[in-house]
Structure 1
Amino acid sequence: MRNIIAAIYLTLDGVMEHPAWTGPYFNDELGAAQHRLLFESDALLLGRVTYQGFAQAWPNVPDTDGFANRMNSLPKYVTSRTLTTPEWNAQLLPGPDATEAVRQLKQQPSGNLLLYGSGALADTLRQHDLIDEYQLMVFPVVLGQGQRFFREGSAPTDLQLVGVQTTSTGVSILTYRRVGS
């Protein structure tokens, strides 16, 4: 059975929106953690907005360490109510919120599904107990406003801390697993 791992960049106040604020803090340590996550996954799971941003950017990124090639070659599963013709090695998941399609993907015997960003999708999957692990990269920045990862009004989720790493630039990489995963 596959696991879904949500890899999320967050500010200290929980904002995940438009992560341009990550630049000054990104270093080789954080890059190595991202490299490990990507290479331990067999496919990406993306919402439409993240997918379209990635599909526009990643094919143009020079490949220095295999990361861009891996990102470009992995299968992508995309949820969208409006997208009709995915490209960039992607497949649309059926359904208005794609929860059942994701549940079926999890039943397949291959490796991890890596969920990058995709706040609305992550929120939906979390509420249906479909995310197994959260890799939260918390940056030492407070924005005071913006879309938060854990949205107001969501049902409680019990998590267990299973890993902590702090980079030299002050980014905390916190790994949580859903209790019962």
Structure 2
Amino acid sequence: MGQLVVVNFVSLDGVMQSVLSADEDRDGGFDGGGWVLPYVDDEVERFMSGATAGAGALLLGRRTYEIFASTWPYADPADPAVAAMNAMPKYVASRSRPDLTWANSRLLGADLAAEVGRITAATESETVVLGSGDLLRTLIEHDLVDEYRLLVFPLLLGGGKQLFTNGATPRRLTLTATRSTPSGVLINTYRRAADA
């Protein structure tokens, strides 16, 4: 049975909103988008390439899916991460019925916990969640995440959507790996604590 792994960018103050471009997510008047790019060095790129190429499936929220579906199918297929992303199964959690144009995409049913259980049972390797803030809050609430791989960027944004929100059920995690990149990004891996 596979595991559910969250791979995400966060600022030092926990913001995960609009990481790659200003227009990605302006909810709440957020105008600090694109904050990741100045810190993306070769080590960050290698880590993200490995995280995506090594996944067995993707689990995405609708907004993240639509952003990815507008770019990944048209990226260089010679890149192993691009080839893997385009070939692997993609599961989309949405309350609406989005147009699933990206190859191997499937809309999940309303019982997200049961759907995630079926996905991880059917996937030998990891099912990876990228971005997908609203979906993540539901996954966290139901304690469905086996591992977090967080890239913590050395800046304070002062506002924006948080990865972990107030009111979440307390949980213990174990830090299993950490390293820093030349640009000052910390790559931390946390697993659900054995005694949680």
Per the TM superposition, whether the score is higher than 0.5 is yes
C-alpha separation in 2, matches of 1:142 and 1:84: 34
**One-letter amino acid of the counterpart of residue 60, structure 2:** L
C-alpha separation in 2, matches of 1:84 and 1:18: 20
Q: 5+ unaligned residues in a row in structure 1: which ranges?
A: none
C-alpha separation in 1, matches of 2:43 and 2:52: 14
Q: CA RMSD in A?
A: 1.5
Q: 5+ unaligned residues in a row in structure 2: which ranges?
A: 20-33
Cα shift readout 1:62-107 (whole Å, capped 9, x = no counterpart): 3453221222121100000112441212101101x52211122122
C-alpha separation in 2, matches of 1:160 and 1:178: 6
Q: Aligned residue for 1:91?
A: 106
C-alpha separation in 2, matches of 1:36 and 1:162: 17
- Count of residue pairs the alignment pairs up: 180
Tell me whether 1:173 sits opposite 2:173 in the alignment.
Answer: no
C-alpha separation in 2, matches of 1:72 and 1:107: 21
Tell me whether 1:158 sits opposite 2:145 in the alignment.
Answer: no
Q: Aligned residue for 2:26?
A: none
Shift of 1:137: 0.3
Pairing of 1:125-140 with structure 2 (within 5 A): 125-140=139-154
**One-letter amino acid of the counterpart of residue 90, structure 1:** S
User: Which stretch shows the higher mean deviation, 41-50 or 69-78?
Assistant: 69-78
Q: Aligned residue for 1:30?
A: 44
Native 8 Å contact 1:164 1:173 kept in 2: yes
Taking a change above 3 Å as real, the CA distance of residues 79 and 128 of structure 1, as seen in their structure-2 partners, is same
Native 8 Å contact 1:44 1:115 kept in 2: yes
TM-score normalised to structure 2 length: 0.87
TM-score normalised to structure 1 length: 0.94
Q: Aligned residue for 2:10?
A: 10
Q: Aligned residue for 2:24?
A: none
